[in-house]
Amino acid sequence: MDNNVANFPAGEETGNKEEAKDVGGVGGARLKAFIERIERLEEEKKELAEDIKEIYAEAKSTGFDTKIMRKIVSLRKMDTEKRREEEELLELYKSAIGLA
């Protein structure tokens, strides 16, 4: 059996009526469990994206510029040094084309 493929008993139930089988050295039940976990997380991600969208809409309705807010969120995610380097490069480019 290939070392990068898990060896699990065939036909383990994961709560779904569809039977998962080992096929070609691939543990069907284990694979199905991974897929179902991914699907649950994708659904949660979708719900969170909707929540974020609503927050931006609320901020916009009170007069905030959501494009700038998104940029700030992006900047806050960055490492301090990376952010500084990006800001310096932006200033350099602006100077090069006469915007500074």
Question: Is the same domain home to 36 and 1?
Answer: yes
Q: What is the pLDDT of residues 46-81, one digit of tens each?
A: 999 999 999 999 999 999 999 999 999 999 999 999
Judged against a pLDDT cut of 60, whether residue 13 lies above it is answered with no
Question: Is the same domain home to 70 and 57?
Answer: no
pTM beyond 0.75, yes or no: no
Backbone angles phi, psi at 17, to 5 degrees: -70, -25
CA 51 to chain centre: 15
E-state strands within the chain: none
Question: Is the same domain home to 92 and 78?
Answer: yes
Question: Is the same domain home to 41 and 56?
Answer: yes
H or E element in which residue 83 lies:
helix 80-96
Domain membership of residue 77 as a residue range: 65-100
Q: How many CA atoms lie within 13 A of 75 on its CB side?
A: 11
What's the domain count of the chain? Answer: 2
pLDDT-above-90 percentage for the chain: 70
pLDDT value of position 17? 57
Question: Is the same domain home to 26 and 47?
Answer: yes
Q: What is the pLDDT of residues 24-53, one digit of tens each?
A: 777 888 999 999 999 999 999 999 999 999
23 strand-pairing partners:
26
Question: Is the same domain home to 54 and 37?
Answer: yes
Question: Is the same domain home to 16 and 43?
Answer: yes
Structure tokens that stand for 81 in this block: 């040094």
Judged against a pLDDT cut of 50, whether residue 16 lies above it is answered with yes
Name the DSSP letter for residue 20: P
Structure tokens that stand for 79 in this block: 């490492």
Judged against a pLDDT cut of 60, whether residue 4 lies above it is answered with no
End-to-end CA distance of the chain: 63
- pLDDT bucket at 1, cuts 50 / 70 / 90: very low
Average pLDDT over every residue of 80-91: 97
Question: Is the same domain home to 7 and 46?
Answer: yes
